[in-house]
Amino acid sequence: MSADSLVAAAWEAEEALLTPSVRGDRARLESLLGPDFTEIGQSGRLWTRGGIVAALVGDSAPLPPAVLTERAARLVAPDTVLLTYRLELDGAVSRRSSLWRRDDDGVRCLFNQGTPVPS
């Protein structure tokens, strides 16, 4: 997989994580999030893979479409890419960063952080 295809696969997976069909599918979430995945949410809460999967699968609230802008991607290793972007979702705006690594099964997210943008 080339650097360009790694970046494209990471963006595709990042966007998938923001869709209701993936957020409600435990197996799909677990395939996209690495075993040691952690997230620092907008509230400052530290999430583990198990905690975020359980929260997302258990959330039945409708989710409006996500709008990603100000996208940037930076290779930090031959198999690892850092994505940064601005996210508008459900009336909230945040800046996001995600670290994705290629493995034998595709790409998996290792880390995500969301920081609220003041209105």
CATH number at residue 94: 3.10.450.50
The answer to the question of residue 117 being in a domain is no
Q: Whole-model pTM above 0.85?
A: yes
- For 41, the domain range is 3-112
If you average pLDDT over residues 14-30, what whole number do you get? 95
Residue ranges in the chain assigned as alpha helix (H): 3-16, 20-23, 26-32, 49-58
Give me 51's structure tokens: 């905690």
Instruction: Let me know if residue 119 belongs to a domain.
Output: no
Is 89 within a domain?
A: yes
Backbone angles phi, psi at 90, to 5 degrees: 55, 40
Structure token digits, residue 66: 């996500």
Coil/strand/helix, residue 35: strand
Q: What would the mean pLDDT of 44-48 be, rounded to a whole number?
A: 96
Whose CA is closest to 96, among 76, 78, 117, 119? 117
What is the pLDDT, as a whole number, of residue 49? 98
